[in-house]
Chains A and B, each alone.
Chain A
Amino acid sequence: MFKKFIQKSRIKSPWLLHYDCSSCNGCDIEVLACLTPVYDIERFGIINVGNPFHADILLVTGTVNLRNRKVLVNLFDQMPNPKVVVAIGSCALSGGIFRETYNVLGGVDKVIPVDVYVPGCPAKPEAIIDGVVMGLDKFKGKNAEEKSHAG
């Protein structure tokens, strides 16, 4: 019974960490737009905490390259379990239009396990919110002991 309570709370109170790998900031602006009164994601209890120690959901935008892969892994490791990763925008999914440049490694899932992919360039706020809510569904199945290590 207590487990159900905790599960319900996890769904009702997802805290975000938003990391921009090296995006053009288009997707980032759309993410921030979600916080504005127009979309107001705090209705769902979502807060943008800037600190992996406090976060449940990692929103990643931008391309992963040789410089920022370690940062992404560090941030992912510093988030306590259970956690969800949402990759936003085509750059995060697969490298986008920068896929063939020399320093781009490809999508976020080359470095850390991704749970939800939100396509778009930039992704619309409605799609981002949808993606986060879909990520919350994962909390229904996960428990705190499951360790997701970075690849």
Chain B
Amino acid sequence: MMSNTVLVISGLVAGPLLGGLINGLDRIITARLQSRIGPPVLQPFYDVIKLLGKEKMVVNVWQAFCAYCYIAAASISLVMFFLRSDLLLILFIQAVGAVFLVIGALSSTSPFSQVGAHRELLQILSYEPLLVLVTVGVYLETGSFKIATVYAWSEPLLLKLPFLYLVLGYALTIKLRKSPFDLSTSHHAHQELVKGLLTDYSGPFLALTEIGHWFEIVLLLGFCSLFWATNWVGMMILVAVTYFLEILIDNVSARMNWRWMLGYVWAMGLSLSLVNLIWLYAG
């Protein structure tokens, strides 16, 4: 009971702290790749605190409701991850947050929000089956959906699930809102639909969505870390290399449209998953 409480609290604390730091590092590395200097590492925290201190302004009180539900779902899914619970369940809880974000955006009549929300739905459509299939791969290899089993496994999952890790990479790129999949909303000033999904959020509610996003980043990187769970150093290297590749891909790609995203991600994702799953099944 005591250790569970500790895990819950560390989950709730790690999300914003780690997420914010990773976000800060992301911005610095992106800047350096663009021959700029970039902001200080603590910049995301300044952003969020500034937003929390702004005047409350809404288009619709639903935005407040949906922003809170989003951050609640994101934090609960990270806490469940820390508690080493069932991966499939964690996926579904995280999906709750994503859906509430979409509903909140749809509750505003601005076309920017509406189109952004639909693009977000298409993004969810693209990555959710793939995440389920990766989880199924973990099950076929370890015999269980529980994270506790993965930590007790003697060899790194990456050896048996290499293609599924690539598939996880697709889902990660979409979830982190990196080009070429940053259709619905994206970081910094990549405006196409103004800010897409998040156009009509402002002040404290925007801060909540940002912190919720940080929880999701930590959750997904945690998911990546499961693929080399036998050794701390290996885990760090895997996560760092993966995240750096994401930043690199973000900087060299242009934003594509939803038709290409859906077609490409499903085609590549399903084929790679099927090959890996058949290997696991036959083995």
Contacts and interface: CB of A to CB of B under 8 A. Distances in A.
Interface of A: 5-6, 8-10, 12-13, 15, 35, 37, 40, 42-45, 47-51, 53-54, 56, 78, 80-82, 144
A55 to B, nearest CB: 9
B5 interface: no
B3 to A, nearest CB: 32
Given A47-B189, A53-B199, A144-B54, A37 B46 contact: no
12 contacts: A5-B49, A40-B31, A40-B37, A43-B36, A43-B38, A45-B47, A49-B189, A53-B201, A54-B206, A56-B50, A78-B57, A144-B55
Contacts of B189: 35, 47-50
Interface residues of B, number: 32
Interface string B43-55: 1011101101111
Contacts of B54: 56, 80-82, 144
B202 interface: yes
Contact of A9 (B37, B38, B46): B46
Interface of B: 27, 31, 34-40, 43, 45-47, 49-50, 52-57, 188-189, 191, 194-195, 199-203, 206
Given A37-B34, A42-B39, A80-B202, 20 more contacts: A6-B50, A12-B46, A13-B47, A13-B49, A15-B47, A40-B31, A42-B31, A42-B36, A42-B37, A43-B39, A45-B39, A45-B40, A51-B194, A51-B195, A51-B199, A53-B57, A53-B199, A53-B201, A54-B206, A144-B55
Contacts of A40: 31, 36-38
B39 A80 contact: no
Contact of B46 (A45, A51, A81): A45
A13 B201 contact: no
A54 B35 contact: no
Given A43-B37, A80-B55, A9 B49 contact: yes
Nearest to B53: A6
A6 B52 contact: yes
A47 B188 contact: yes
Contact of A50 (B36, B46, B191): B191
A9 B50 contact: yes
A12 B47 CA distance: 8
Contacts of B206: 53-54
Nearest to A40: B36
Contacts of A13: 43, 46-47, 49-50
Contacts of B195: 49-51, 54
Contacts of A8: 46
A56 B49 CA distance: 13
Contacts of B46: 8-9, 12-13, 45
B33 to A, nearest CB: 11
A9 B200 contact: no
A39 to B, nearest CB: 9
B280 to A, nearest CB: 44
A13 B195 CA distance: 18
A8 B48 CA distance: 12
Given A37-B34, A81-B54, A45 B202 contact: no
Contacts of B38: 40, 42-43
B183 to A, nearest CB: 16
Contact of A53 (B45, B188, B202): B202
A47 to B, nearest CB: 6
B185 to A, nearest CB: 11
A45 B43 contact: yes
A77 to B, nearest CB: 10
Q: Which 4 A-B pairs have the closest CB atoms?
A: A6-B53, A53-B202, A9-B49, A12-B46
Given A12-B46, A45-B47, A49-B189, A80 B203 contact: yes
Contacts of B202: 53-54, 80
A49 B199 CA distance: 10
Contacts of B47: 9, 13, 15, 45
